[in-house]
Structure 1
Protein backbone atom coordinates (compact mmCIF):
# COMPACT_ATOMS: atom_id res chain seq x y z
CA UNK A 1 0.00 0.00 0.00
CA UNK A 2 1.39 3.41 -0.91
CA UNK A 3 2.10 5.81 1.95
CA UNK A 4 -0.28 8.50 0.64
CA UNK A 5 -3.16 6.04 0.40
CA UNK A 6 -2.48 4.77 3.90
CA UNK A 7 -2.54 8.35 5.21
CA UNK A 8 -5.80 8.99 3.37
CA UNK A 9 -7.41 5.96 4.95
CA UNK A 10 -6.23 6.99 8.40
CA UNK A 11 -7.69 10.46 7.91
CA UNK A 12 -11.00 9.02 6.79
CA UNK A 13 -10.99 6.69 9.76
CA UNK A 14 -10.47 9.59 12.16
CA UNK A 15 -12.89 12.05 10.61
CA UNK A 16 -15.60 9.82 9.17
CA UNK A 17 -18.67 9.07 11.23
CA UNK A 18 -19.14 5.35 11.84
CA UNK A 19 -22.92 5.38 12.01
CA UNK A 20 -24.86 4.76 8.80
CA UNK A 21 -27.66 6.89 10.21
CA UNK A 22 -25.44 9.99 9.98
CA UNK A 23 -25.98 10.49 6.26
CA UNK A 24 -28.84 10.57 3.83
CA UNK A 25 -27.20 9.77 0.47
CA UNK A 26 -29.13 10.93 -2.59
CA UNK A 27 -28.83 7.78 -4.68
CA UNK A 28 -31.38 6.55 -7.23
CA UNK A 29 -31.72 3.33 -5.20
CA UNK A 30 -31.90 2.42 -1.52
CA UNK A 31 -28.40 0.91 -1.27
CA UNK A 32 -25.50 -0.39 -3.31
CA UNK A 33 -24.19 -3.91 -2.81
CA UNK A 34 -20.71 -5.03 -1.74
CA UNK A 35 -19.86 -8.61 -2.69
CA UNK A 36 -16.78 -10.86 -2.65
CA UNK A 37 -15.88 -13.94 -4.65
CA UNK A 38 -12.91 -16.21 -5.41
CA UNK A 39 -12.06 -18.37 -8.43
CA UNK A 40 -13.39 -21.91 -8.36
CA UNK A 41 -11.81 -23.98 -5.56
CA UNK A 42 -9.47 -21.14 -4.55
CA UNK A 43 -10.78 -20.81 -1.00
CA UNK A 44 -10.56 -17.41 0.70
CA UNK A 45 -11.22 -16.24 4.24
CA UNK A 46 -11.89 -12.50 4.36
CA UNK A 47 -10.58 -11.16 7.67
CA UNK A 48 -12.01 -7.69 7.21
CA UNK A 49 -13.18 -5.15 4.66
CA UNK A 50 -13.37 -1.46 5.58
CA UNK A 51 -15.30 0.87 3.28
CA UNK A 52 -15.40 4.67 3.03
CA UNK A 53 -17.86 6.57 0.89
CA UNK A 54 -17.33 9.83 -1.02
CA UNK A 55 -18.42 11.87 2.02
CA UNK A 56 -15.83 10.34 4.35
CA UNK A 57 -18.34 8.09 6.11
CA UNK A 58 -16.50 4.92 7.07
CA UNK A 59 -17.98 1.46 7.61
CA UNK A 60 -15.36 -0.56 9.52
CA UNK A 61 -15.55 -4.34 9.18
CA UNK A 62 -18.28 -4.08 6.58
CA UNK A 63 -17.65 -7.69 5.57
CA UNK A 64 -15.76 -10.75 6.74
CA UNK A 65 -15.78 -14.54 6.59
CA UNK A 66 -16.12 -16.89 3.63
CA UNK A 67 -16.56 -15.52 0.12
CA UNK A 68 -18.50 -16.96 -2.82
CA UNK A 69 -16.69 -19.75 -4.69
CA UNK A 70 -17.62 -22.61 -7.00
CA UNK A 71 -16.54 -26.06 -5.78
CA UNK A 72 -18.31 -28.98 -7.51
CA UNK A 73 -17.48 -32.19 -5.65
CA UNK A 74 -16.84 -33.88 -8.99
CA UNK A 75 -13.87 -31.52 -9.51
CA UNK A 76 -15.41 -30.80 -12.93
CA UNK A 77 -14.88 -27.03 -12.80
CA UNK A 78 -11.57 -25.28 -13.38
CA UNK A 79 -9.82 -22.80 -11.12
CA UNK A 80 -7.97 -21.27 -14.06
CA UNK A 81 -9.16 -17.74 -14.77
CA UNK A 82 -12.43 -16.24 -13.60
CA UNK A 83 -15.76 -17.92 -14.30
CA UNK A 84 -17.23 -16.92 -17.65
CA UNK A 85 -20.29 -15.65 -15.87
CA UNK A 86 -19.58 -14.15 -12.46
CA UNK A 87 -22.20 -13.30 -9.90
CA UNK A 88 -22.32 -10.41 -7.47
CA UNK A 89 -20.55 -12.44 -4.79
CA UNK A 90 -21.36 -13.01 -1.14
CA UNK A 91 -21.93 -9.73 0.65
CA UNK A 92 -24.38 -7.19 1.95
CA UNK A 93 -26.23 -4.03 0.98
CA UNK A 94 -24.45 -0.83 2.02
CA UNK A 95 -27.48 1.00 3.37
CA UNK A 96 -26.81 4.57 4.50
CA UNK A 97 -23.56 4.95 2.56
CA UNK A 98 -23.05 7.12 -0.46
CA UNK A 99 -21.04 5.79 -3.40
CA UNK A 100 -17.82 3.93 -2.49
CA UNK A 101 -14.49 5.75 -2.43
CA UNK A 102 -11.83 3.83 -0.45
CA UNK A 103 -11.74 0.06 0.02
CA UNK A 104 -9.31 -1.56 2.48
CA UNK A 105 -9.03 -5.35 2.70
CA UNK A 106 -7.19 -8.08 4.57
CA UNK A 107 -7.74 -11.74 3.67
CA UNK A 108 -6.29 -15.24 3.71
CA UNK A 109 -5.64 -17.09 0.46
CA UNK A 110 -6.02 -20.49 2.07
CA UNK A 111 -4.76 -22.68 -0.78
CA UNK A 112 -1.26 -21.15 -0.56
CA UNK A 113 -1.59 -20.33 2.39
CA UNK A 114 -0.81 -16.60 2.52
CA UNK A 115 -2.32 -13.45 4.02
CA UNK A 116 -2.66 -10.29 1.93
CA UNK A 117 -3.76 -6.71 2.40
CA UNK A 118 -4.72 -4.05 -0.12
CA UNK A 119 -6.25 -0.59 -0.23
CA UNK A 120 -7.49 1.19 -3.33
CA UNK A 121 -9.71 3.97 -4.62
CA UNK A 122 -12.82 3.46 -6.72
CA UNK A 123 -12.35 5.77 -9.75
CA UNK A 124 -14.78 8.57 -10.55
CA UNK A 125 -15.82 7.03 -13.88
CA UNK A 126 -16.94 3.84 -12.11
CA UNK A 127 -19.05 5.78 -9.60
CA UNK A 128 -20.70 7.68 -12.45
CA UNK A 129 -21.63 4.40 -14.08
CA UNK A 130 -23.08 3.11 -10.79
CA UNK A 131 -25.82 5.75 -10.93
CA UNK A 132 -26.44 5.55 -14.68
CA UNK A 133 -29.85 4.09 -15.49
CA UNK A 134 -29.64 1.85 -18.56
CA UNK A 135 -32.20 -0.04 -20.63
CA UNK A 136 -32.31 -3.67 -19.54
CA UNK A 137 -34.46 -6.75 -19.93
CA UNK A 138 -35.23 -8.10 -16.46
CA UNK A 139 -37.53 -11.12 -16.95
CA UNK A 140 -37.99 -11.89 -13.24
CA UNK A 141 -38.92 -8.40 -12.05
CA UNK A 142 -40.27 -7.09 -15.34
CA UNK A 143 -38.10 -3.96 -15.08
CA UNK A 144 -36.98 -2.34 -18.31
CA UNK A 145 -34.00 -0.50 -16.79
CA UNK A 146 -31.25 -1.32 -14.33
CA UNK A 147 -28.27 0.19 -12.46
CA UNK A 148 -24.79 -1.23 -11.97
CA UNK A 149 -25.13 -0.83 -8.21
CA UNK A 150 -23.18 -3.97 -7.24
CA UNK A 151 -19.48 -3.57 -6.39
CA UNK A 152 -17.94 -7.03 -6.65
CA UNK A 153 -14.38 -7.80 -5.56
CA UNK A 154 -12.56 -10.94 -6.65
CA UNK A 155 -9.68 -12.29 -4.54
CA UNK A 156 -7.27 -14.81 -6.09
CA UNK A 157 -4.05 -16.59 -5.06
CA UNK A 158 -0.88 -14.59 -5.46
CA UNK A 159 -2.66 -11.51 -4.12
CA UNK A 160 -4.60 -10.70 -7.30
CA UNK A 161 -7.55 -8.35 -6.72
CA UNK A 162 -10.10 -7.71 -9.47
CA UNK A 163 -13.02 -5.29 -9.13
CA UNK A 164 -16.23 -5.10 -11.17
CA UNK A 165 -19.45 -3.13 -11.11
CA UNK A 166 -22.59 -4.89 -12.30
CA UNK A 167 -26.36 -5.02 -12.12
CA UNK A 168 -28.77 -7.98 -11.94
CA UNK A 169 -29.74 -7.40 -15.58
CA UNK A 170 -26.53 -5.76 -16.87
CA UNK A 171 -23.18 -7.31 -17.73
CA UNK A 172 -20.23 -6.52 -15.44
CA UNK A 173 -17.70 -3.82 -16.19
CA UNK A 174 -14.16 -4.43 -15.00
CA UNK A 175 -12.99 -1.46 -12.91
CA UNK A 176 -9.43 -2.41 -11.99
CA UNK A 177 -6.97 -5.21 -11.31
CA UNK A 178 -4.21 -4.81 -8.75
CA UNK A 179 -1.50 -6.67 -6.89
CA UNK A 180 -1.97 -6.88 -3.11
CA UNK A 181 0.87 -6.94 -0.61
CA UNK A 182 1.73 -9.77 1.73
CA UNK A 183 0.57 -9.06 5.28
CA UNK A 184 3.77 -9.31 7.39
CA UNK A 185 1.87 -10.22 10.56
CA UNK A 186 0.32 -13.26 8.92
CA UNK A 187 -3.19 -14.56 9.54
CA UNK A 188 -5.42 -12.86 12.10
CA UNK A 189 -2.92 -10.06 12.63
CA UNK A 190 -0.39 -12.51 14.08
CA UNK A 191 -2.76 -13.73 16.78
CA UNK A 192 -2.94 -17.34 15.53
CA UNK A 193 0.77 -18.12 15.63
CA UNK A 194 0.85 -18.42 11.84
CA UNK A 195 -1.90 -21.06 11.73
CA UNK A 196 -4.48 -20.91 8.95
CA UNK A 197 -7.97 -22.27 8.71
CA UNK A 198 -7.97 -25.81 7.22
CA UNK A 199 -9.04 -26.28 3.63
CA UNK A 200 -12.42 -27.82 2.96
CA UNK A 201 -12.10 -31.47 1.76
CA UNK A 202 -13.23 -30.69 -1.82
CA UNK A 203 -10.78 -27.80 -2.17
CA UNK A 204 -7.93 -29.90 -0.79
CA UNK A 205 -8.74 -32.68 -3.25
CA UNK A 206 -8.70 -30.22 -6.16
CA UNK A 207 -5.43 -28.56 -5.15
CA UNK A 208 -3.75 -31.92 -4.52
CA UNK A 209 -4.76 -33.06 -8.02
CA UNK A 210 -4.37 -29.89 -10.11
CA UNK A 211 -2.39 -27.39 -8.05
CA UNK A 212 -2.87 -23.62 -8.07
CA UNK A 213 -2.91 -21.95 -11.54
CA UNK A 214 -0.96 -18.81 -10.63
CA UNK A 215 -0.93 -16.08 -13.25
CA UNK A 216 -4.30 -16.99 -14.77
CA UNK A 217 -6.38 -14.28 -13.07
CA UNK A 218 -4.94 -11.07 -14.49
CA UNK A 219 -6.50 -10.99 -17.96
CA UNK A 220 -9.99 -9.52 -18.46
CA UNK A 221 -12.78 -12.07 -18.78
CA UNK A 222 -14.11 -12.21 -22.37
CA UNK A 223 -17.41 -10.32 -22.00
CA UNK A 224 -16.05 -7.57 -19.78
CA UNK A 225 -15.95 -3.98 -20.99
CA UNK A 226 -13.03 -2.10 -19.45
CA UNK A 227 -13.81 1.47 -18.47
CA UNK A 228 -11.83 4.55 -19.49
Structure 2
Protein backbone atom coordinates (compact mmCIF):
# COMPACT_ATOMS: atom_id res chain seq x y z
CA UNK A 1 0.00 0.00 0.00
CA UNK A 2 1.35 3.45 -0.91
CA UNK A 3 2.06 6.09 1.70
CA UNK A 4 -0.76 8.26 0.31
CA UNK A 5 -3.29 5.43 0.54
CA UNK A 6 -2.16 4.71 4.12
CA UNK A 7 -2.71 8.32 5.10
CA UNK A 8 -6.14 8.40 3.46
CA UNK A 9 -7.13 5.18 5.23
CA UNK A 10 -5.97 6.57 8.57
CA UNK A 11 -7.91 9.78 8.02
CA UNK A 12 -11.06 7.84 7.10
CA UNK A 13 -10.71 5.65 10.19
CA UNK A 14 -10.34 8.67 12.48
CA UNK A 15 -13.32 10.37 10.84
CA UNK A 16 -15.52 7.32 11.26
CA UNK A 17 -14.43 6.96 14.89
CA UNK A 18 -15.32 10.59 15.52
CA UNK A 19 -18.73 10.10 13.93
CA UNK A 20 -19.36 7.03 16.07
CA UNK A 21 -18.45 8.97 19.23
CA UNK A 22 -20.71 11.84 18.23
CA UNK A 23 -23.56 9.42 17.58
CA UNK A 24 -22.97 7.79 20.96
CA UNK A 25 -23.45 11.17 22.67
CA UNK A 26 -26.40 12.31 20.59
CA UNK A 27 -28.95 13.39 23.21
CA UNK A 28 -32.10 15.46 22.62
CA UNK A 29 -30.44 18.21 24.74
CA UNK A 30 -26.91 19.56 25.06
CA UNK A 31 -26.03 17.78 28.31
CA UNK A 32 -27.64 16.26 31.37
CA UNK A 33 -27.37 18.01 34.73
CA UNK A 34 -26.06 16.62 38.02
CA UNK A 35 -27.32 18.47 41.10
CA UNK A 36 -27.19 17.79 44.84
CA UNK A 37 -29.43 18.82 47.72
CA UNK A 38 -29.53 18.38 51.50
CA UNK A 39 -32.43 18.61 53.99
CA UNK A 40 -33.00 21.92 55.79
CA UNK A 41 -30.17 22.73 58.24
CA UNK A 42 -28.38 19.41 57.50
CA UNK A 43 -25.45 21.01 55.69
CA UNK A 44 -23.22 19.03 53.34
CA UNK A 45 -19.86 19.56 51.70
CA UNK A 46 -19.35 17.44 48.57
CA UNK A 47 -15.75 16.30 48.19
CA UNK A 48 -16.53 14.83 44.79
CA UNK A 49 -19.45 13.67 42.70
CA UNK A 50 -18.17 11.54 39.80
CA UNK A 51 -20.22 10.24 36.89
CA UNK A 52 -19.73 7.16 34.72
CA UNK A 53 -21.69 7.22 31.48
CA UNK A 54 -23.17 4.25 29.66
CA UNK A 55 -19.96 3.90 27.62
CA UNK A 56 -17.98 3.54 30.88
CA UNK A 57 -16.29 6.90 30.51
CA UNK A 58 -15.51 8.52 33.85
CA UNK A 59 -16.17 12.21 34.53
CA UNK A 60 -14.39 12.96 37.80
CA UNK A 61 -15.50 15.85 40.01
CA UNK A 62 -18.47 16.52 37.80
CA UNK A 63 -19.64 18.39 40.90
CA UNK A 64 -18.11 19.40 44.23
CA UNK A 65 -18.74 21.99 46.90
CA UNK A 66 -21.90 22.94 48.79
CA UNK A 67 -25.22 21.15 48.22
CA UNK A 68 -28.40 23.20 47.81
CA UNK A 69 -30.10 23.73 51.18
CA UNK A 70 -32.51 25.98 53.08
CA UNK A 71 -31.53 27.32 56.51
CA UNK A 72 -34.36 29.60 57.71
CA UNK A 73 -33.13 31.81 60.55
CA UNK A 74 -36.36 31.47 62.54
CA UNK A 75 -35.82 27.68 62.91
CA UNK A 76 -39.20 27.09 61.23
CA UNK A 77 -37.75 24.92 58.48
CA UNK A 78 -38.48 21.22 58.60
CA UNK A 79 -35.58 18.90 57.70
CA UNK A 80 -37.61 15.70 57.93
CA UNK A 81 -38.26 13.78 54.73
CA UNK A 82 -37.70 14.96 51.18
CA UNK A 83 -39.62 17.59 49.19
CA UNK A 84 -42.20 16.37 46.69
CA UNK A 85 -40.42 18.49 44.09
CA UNK A 86 -36.70 18.48 44.91
CA UNK A 87 -35.69 20.76 42.05
CA UNK A 88 -32.39 20.62 40.23
CA UNK A 89 -30.07 21.16 43.21
CA UNK A 90 -26.66 22.82 43.17
CA UNK A 91 -24.61 21.34 40.37
CA UNK A 92 -23.34 21.44 36.82
CA UNK A 93 -24.05 20.09 33.36
CA UNK A 94 -21.90 17.03 32.66
CA UNK A 95 -20.55 18.15 29.31
CA UNK A 96 -19.49 15.50 26.80
CA UNK A 97 -21.08 12.64 28.72
CA UNK A 98 -23.66 10.21 27.45
CA UNK A 99 -26.45 9.10 29.79
CA UNK A 100 -25.26 8.14 33.28
CA UNK A 101 -24.78 4.55 34.39
CA UNK A 102 -23.25 5.21 37.81
CA UNK A 103 -22.80 8.17 40.13
CA UNK A 104 -20.26 8.12 42.94
CA UNK A 105 -20.55 10.70 45.73
CA UNK A 106 -18.19 11.29 48.65
CA UNK A 107 -19.40 13.93 51.05
CA UNK A 108 -18.92 15.46 54.48
CA UNK A 109 -22.06 15.54 56.61
CA UNK A 110 -21.35 18.77 58.50
CA UNK A 111 -24.39 18.30 60.73
CA UNK A 112 -22.80 15.25 62.38
CA UNK A 113 -19.13 15.56 61.35
CA UNK A 114 -19.02 12.32 59.42
CA UNK A 115 -17.76 11.46 55.94
CA UNK A 116 -19.69 9.10 53.65
CA UNK A 117 -19.48 7.66 50.17
CA UNK A 118 -22.15 6.07 48.00
CA UNK A 119 -22.38 4.33 44.63
CA UNK A 120 -25.68 5.06 42.90
CA UNK A 121 -26.57 2.84 39.94
CA UNK A 122 -28.76 4.42 37.27
CA UNK A 123 -30.92 1.67 35.68
CA UNK A 124 -31.43 1.36 31.95
CA UNK A 125 -35.13 2.16 32.36
CA UNK A 126 -34.14 5.46 33.96
CA UNK A 127 -31.82 6.31 31.08
CA UNK A 128 -34.64 5.60 28.65
CA UNK A 129 -36.90 7.95 30.62
CA UNK A 130 -34.24 10.68 30.42
CA UNK A 131 -34.50 10.85 26.62
CA UNK A 132 -38.28 10.44 26.37
CA UNK A 133 -39.85 13.78 25.48
CA UNK A 134 -43.20 14.66 27.06
CA UNK A 135 -45.63 17.37 26.05
CA UNK A 136 -46.39 19.49 29.08
CA UNK A 137 -47.81 22.89 29.89
CA UNK A 138 -45.04 24.94 31.44
CA UNK A 139 -46.19 27.57 33.94
CA UNK A 140 -42.79 29.25 33.73
CA UNK A 141 -43.41 30.64 30.25
CA UNK A 142 -47.12 29.86 29.90
CA UNK A 143 -47.03 27.54 26.91
CA UNK A 144 -46.91 23.89 25.88
CA UNK A 145 -43.45 22.48 25.34
CA UNK A 146 -41.69 19.15 24.86
CA UNK A 147 -39.71 18.66 28.05
CA UNK A 148 -37.13 16.06 29.11
CA UNK A 149 -36.00 14.71 32.45
CA UNK A 150 -32.37 15.64 31.97
CA UNK A 151 -31.78 16.69 35.59
CA UNK A 152 -30.34 14.07 37.94
CA UNK A 153 -30.79 15.26 41.53
CA UNK A 154 -29.13 13.47 44.45
CA UNK A 155 -30.25 14.14 48.02
CA UNK A 156 -27.68 13.64 50.80
CA UNK A 157 -28.84 13.25 54.41
CA UNK A 158 -27.29 12.42 57.79
CA UNK A 159 -26.64 8.75 58.41
CA UNK A 160 -25.34 8.35 54.86
CA UNK A 161 -28.79 8.29 53.24
CA UNK A 162 -29.06 9.21 49.56
CA UNK A 163 -32.09 9.52 47.34
CA UNK A 164 -31.97 10.18 43.60
CA UNK A 165 -34.55 11.58 41.19
CA UNK A 166 -34.69 12.56 37.54
CA UNK A 167 -36.75 15.55 36.49
CA UNK A 168 -37.25 18.37 34.04
CA UNK A 169 -38.01 22.06 34.53
CA UNK A 170 -41.71 21.48 33.87
CA UNK A 171 -42.05 17.75 34.63
CA UNK A 172 -42.72 15.98 37.91
CA UNK A 173 -39.64 14.18 39.22
CA UNK A 174 -39.34 10.40 39.18
CA UNK A 175 -37.59 8.65 42.06
CA UNK A 176 -34.68 6.54 40.85
CA UNK A 177 -33.02 5.01 43.89
CA UNK A 178 -32.51 5.15 47.63
CA UNK A 179 -28.98 4.09 48.54
CA UNK A 180 -27.31 3.87 51.95
CA UNK A 181 -23.79 5.21 51.86
CA UNK A 182 -20.94 3.88 53.97
CA UNK A 183 -18.62 5.70 56.36
CA UNK A 184 -15.24 6.71 54.94
CA UNK A 185 -12.94 5.47 57.65
CA UNK A 186 -10.11 7.84 56.66
CA UNK A 187 -12.35 10.81 57.46
CA UNK A 188 -12.64 14.08 55.54
CA UNK A 189 -10.42 14.55 52.50
CA UNK A 190 -9.20 10.97 52.73
CA UNK A 191 -7.41 11.75 55.98
CA UNK A 192 -5.36 14.55 54.42
CA UNK A 193 -7.00 17.35 56.44
CA UNK A 194 -6.13 15.97 59.86
CA UNK A 195 -9.80 15.40 60.67
CA UNK A 196 -10.78 18.98 59.88
CA UNK A 197 -14.08 19.42 58.03
CA UNK A 198 -14.45 21.82 55.14
CA UNK A 199 -16.81 24.37 56.70
CA UNK A 200 -18.40 25.23 60.05
CA UNK A 201 -22.16 25.02 60.31
CA UNK A 202 -24.11 28.20 59.67
CA UNK A 203 -25.48 29.73 62.88
CA UNK A 204 -29.08 28.81 61.98
CA UNK A 205 -28.15 25.18 61.30
CA UNK A 206 -26.12 24.94 64.51
CA UNK A 207 -28.98 26.45 66.52
CA UNK A 208 -31.55 24.09 64.98
CA UNK A 209 -29.50 20.96 65.64
CA UNK A 210 -28.69 22.01 69.20
CA UNK A 211 -32.39 22.57 69.91
CA UNK A 212 -34.08 19.76 67.98
CA UNK A 213 -31.32 17.29 67.08
CA UNK A 214 -30.98 15.35 63.85
CA UNK A 215 -34.16 13.52 62.71
CA UNK A 216 -32.52 10.20 61.81
CA UNK A 217 -34.90 7.74 60.19
CA UNK A 218 -36.99 10.40 58.42
CA UNK A 219 -35.19 10.10 55.09
**TM-score category (smaller protein):** 0.7 to 0.9
Corresponding residue number in structure 2 for 1:81: 81
More helix by share: 2
**Structure 2 matches for 1:55-134, cutoff 5 A?**
55-134=55-134
Instruction: Give the secondary-structure state (helix, strand or coil) at the position aligned to 2:137.
Output: coil
- Structure of larger gyration radius: 2
1:208 aligned onto 2:218 = no
Residue 200 of structure 2 corresponds to 198
Partner of 1:43: 43
1:135 is matched with 135
**Residue number in structure 2 paired with 1:3:** none
Q: Deviations over 1:72-116 (max 9, x none)?
A: 111111111112332110001112110001111110011111000
Which 5+ residue runs of structure 2 have no aligned equivalent? 1-19
The verdict on how the C-alpha distance between 1:23 and 1:39 changes in structure 2, with shifts beyond 3 A counting, is: farther
Find runs of 4+ consecutive structure 1 residues off by over 3 angstroms.
none
- How large is the Cα RMSD of the aligned pairs? 1.3
CA distance in 1, matches of 2:59, 2:85: 29
Structure 1 contact 40–83 (Cα < 8 Å) conserved: no
Structure 2 residue aligned with 1:144:
145
Size of the alignment, in residue pairs? 196
- The whole-number CA distance in structure 1 between the counterparts of 2:132 and 2:28 is 9
Q: Conserved in 2, the CA contact under 8 Å of 1:23 and 1:96? A: no
TM-score, length basis structure 2:
0.86
SS at match of 1:62: strand
CA distance in 2, matches of 1:158, 1:140: 36
